Amino acid sequence: MKILMVCLGNICRSPLAEGIMKTKVPENFFIDSAGTISLHEGETPDKRAVKTAANHHIDISQQRSRPVTKTDFDTFDKIYCMDIDVYEDVVSKAQNEEQRQKILLFMSALGDHKNAEVPDPYWGDMKDFEDVFQLLDKGCDAIKNQILS
């Protein structure tokens, strides 16, 4: 199973989701993250995201931001988007219906949050990053349960 987590810049939400998901699934799963923009390409995650993950014994400090590529649609089985704008952007890049079927809103994994978005903590403080971590943790649990059941 190959899972891609996607947010806007690939420095806050999707790196956290990647790190969290890696702790929940078997080692033979491939988990990665990307962004819809290339503004931060090659950069490490936001320092606040790295610290928040570290507070939960997860190391995301070696991740590097990258944009979504055409090959991602063939490589990955599931592509989880953090908000509606990201979802719409990723869907617009898909080349066919088979690729579009792989793209999901991350929060759809939690049945009671079908259309909810993972808020972008970039302009916030450490509490916002912690709140996002908790939301991503719940979502990753739900995704794991759906995939492994």
Tens of each residue's pLDDT in the chain, 149 residues:
999 999 999 999 999 999 999 999 999 999 999 999 999 999 999 999 999 999 999 999 999 999 999 999 999 999 999 999 999 999 999 999 999 999 999 999 988 766 789 999 999 999 999 999 999 999 999 999 999 98
Model pTM score: 0.97
* Spatial separation of the C-alpha atoms in residues 2 and 84, rounded to whole Å: 22
- Nearest in space to 3 (alpha carbons), one of 44, 28, 33: 33
The per-residue pLDDT for 149 is 84
The per-residue pLDDT for 28 is 96
Q: Which residues are catalytically annotated?
A: 7, 13, 120
CA contacts within 13 A on the Cβ side of 51 = 9
* Phi–psi pair at 100, nearest 5 degrees: -60, -35
